[in-house]
Structure 1
């Protein structure tokens, strides 16, 4: 089995390598190719990756290349984890929206739209190269904004499934609180990528006892603290929202905070410098503890599970993924991309039924889906007017003065990445 990781020079990659190594019985890899245009980073990450495999006794071969076509040739699956423009572009996404009093974040709001506009054309080009190399290869997308990028891939006819680590993070957290194995915890996870709620936490499967009320009663304070929301909000809703919902439920508070501290991108950039220095140490043969602060917790385990199911039918039969709605949420079009539990096998991902949603959640999902429709149109076809309409439709913007100003800012800061400018 051959896998390729596009964006393999990311400082995330040792997390992925560690998972591939530990879980090699679930996903036996004979060849792993790390693909990245940044040859210097690729050498450092590739060297550490080989040492991790060697230490853990993995027999697979790891190679590196900056040539996408060579890297994906013959691959059974390709994982996408790229960041067009790097942390410098992310830093812009997280700062210029604040000038209009709107949240600055890499996947939400105006910054998220900027990332989509930069990313979708690049991902589609890579996907076409994958299709030419092997039309049967699966594409697993971990590249943000995952919902929009996955929809672009599916709409273009690619064999693609989107992946996020939010659900597996909650699963692991709840399992620890309940003192059970993570595999025993089934989440009623529903929404869009980075716009999800846990409506139930069931033991043993979808028909098991719902322990969410108990979790909220016994651990509501710690859960609320992690989400940086008042405990009363969780109690009143009776659900656990993803931490991205704070941008919606406490938007103005978040904006005030973001204006008073360095961007997350600046923090990550500094962290990446330290990590790359560590990766260059020839004695390092495991992922360093600092990597846990970089983000992407449990990403490797989710990726292995998904790839194993798609390629061999050997992973968990039900997983949280991003895929076509296909009637699951009746208020959305079939070709909207949602994030829910799905049955996953070698034929792809099929969403499981979802019970009727409260208008509080359905309304926001519908609103953000409308924005994502317009965002994808802007990413595919360009044009200032399309960018403006997407921003105007976003529930965190929604005023024409803001949308006009943010459109100008977005184009000015991303000119080098927008072919239509």
Structure 2
């Protein structure tokens, strides 16, 4: 089995490699190819990756290359984890929206749109080259904004599934609170990427006992602290929102916070410099503890599980993925991309049935889906007016003065990445 990671020079990659090494019985990789245009980073990450495999007794071969076509040639699965513009672009995404009193974040709001505009054309080009190399290859997208990027891939006819680590993070935290094995925790996880709620926590499978009420009653303070929302709100909703819902439920509070502290991009850039220095140490043969602060917790386990299921070698029978709606949420178009539990196999994901949702959730899901449709249109066809329409549609923006000012800032800060600007 050959698996290729595009963006293999990322400081995330040792987390992924560690999972490939530990879970080699689930996903027996013979060749792992790390592709990245940044040759200096790739050399450091690739060296550590080989040492991790050696330490854990993995016999697979690790190849590093800056040649995308060579890297994806013959790959059974290609995992995308790229960041167009790097941390410098992310820094801008997190700061200029604040000038208009809007959340500055790399996956939602105006910053998320900027990232989508930079990313979608690049990902579609990569996907076409993957298709030419192996039409049956699966593309696993971990590149944000996952929902919009996955929708672009599926609309273009690619064999693609979107992946996020929010659900597996909840699964592991809930399992610890409930003193049970993670595999016993089945989430009723529903929504869009970075706009999801846990509407049930069932033990043993999708038909098991729902222990969410007990979880909130006995561990409400811990859960509320984790998502950074008040416990009374969670009890009122009767669900657990992902921490990304804080941008919606506490928008002004978040803006005040973001204006008084360094951006997350600045923090991550500093961490990356430290991590890359560590990766250059020939004695280091395991992922360093600092990597846990970089983000992406349990990313490797989720990626292994998904790739194994798609390639027919195993994996969990049910997984949370980003895939086509196809009637799962009847208030959305069939071609919308949703994030739900699905049965995953070699033919792709089949979403499980979702019970009727409270209008409090369906309204926001429908609103953001409309934004994502407009965002994808802007990413594919360009133009200031399309960018403005997407921003005006986003519930975190919504006012024409903000949308107009943010459009000008977005274009000014991203001109080098926008072919039409």
Q: TM-score range by the shorter chain?
A: over 0.9
Q: TM-score, normalised by structure 1?
A: 1.00
Distance 1:265 1:76 in 2: 33
Distance 1:25 1:120 in 2: 34
1:17-416 equivalences in 2 (<5 Å) = 17-416=17-416
Distance 2:118 2:373 in 1: 16
Distance 2:24 2:312 in 1: 13
Distance 1:209 1:318 in 2: 16
Distance 2:16 2:360 in 1: 36
Distance 2:172 2:230 in 1: 22
Task: Supply the RMSD in Å over aligned alpha carbons.
Answer: 0.5
Distance 1:306 1:228 in 2: 29
Distance 2:262 2:406 in 1: 21
Kindly provide the CA deviation profile for residues 141-165 of structure 1, in whole angstroms up to 9, marking residues without a partner as x: 0000000000000000000000000
Distance 2:226 2:352 in 1: 29
Contact kept? 2:27, 2:313, Cα under 8 Å: no
Distance 1:144 1:407 in 2: 20
Per-residue deviation, 1:313: 4.4
For the residue of structure 1 that corresponds to 2:3, the secondary structure is: strand
Contact kept? 2:8, 2:34, Cα under 8 Å: yes
Contact kept? 1:323, 1:338, Cα under 8 Å: yes
For the residue of structure 1 that corresponds to 2:311, the secondary structure is: helix
Kindly provide the CA deviation profile for residues 300-350 of structure 1, in whole angstroms up to 9, marking residues without a partner as x: 000000000000241111100000000000000000000000110000011
Structure 2 stretches of 5 or more lacking a match? Answer: none
Contact kept? 1:162, 1:322, Cα under 8 Å: yes
Distance 1:396 1:120 in 2: 22
Contact kept? 2:186, 2:201, Cα under 8 Å: yes
Distance 2:30 2:230 in 1: 48
Aligned to 1:11: 11
Distance 2:30 2:132 in 1: 22
For the residue of structure 2 that corresponds to 1:312, the secondary structure is: coil
Contact kept? 1:313, 1:345, Cα under 8 Å: no
Q: TM-score, normalised by structure 2?
A: 1.00
Contact kept? 1:103, 1:247, Cα under 8 Å: yes
Distance 1:76 1:210 in 2: 37
Distance 1:94 1:126 in 2: 26
Distance 2:65 2:313 in 1: 29
Distance 2:205 2:223 in 1: 22
Query: Which segment is superposed worse, 24-33 or 306-315?
Result: 306-315
Kindly provide the CA deviation profile for residues 61-111 of structure 1, in whole angstroms up to 9, marking residues without a partner as x: 001001100100000000000000000000000000000000000001000
Structure 1 stretches of 5 or more lacking a match? Answer: none
For the residue of structure 2 that corresponds to 1:130, the secondary structure is: helix
Aligned pairs, how many? Answer: 421
For the residue of structure 2 that corresponds to 1:344, the secondary structure is: strand
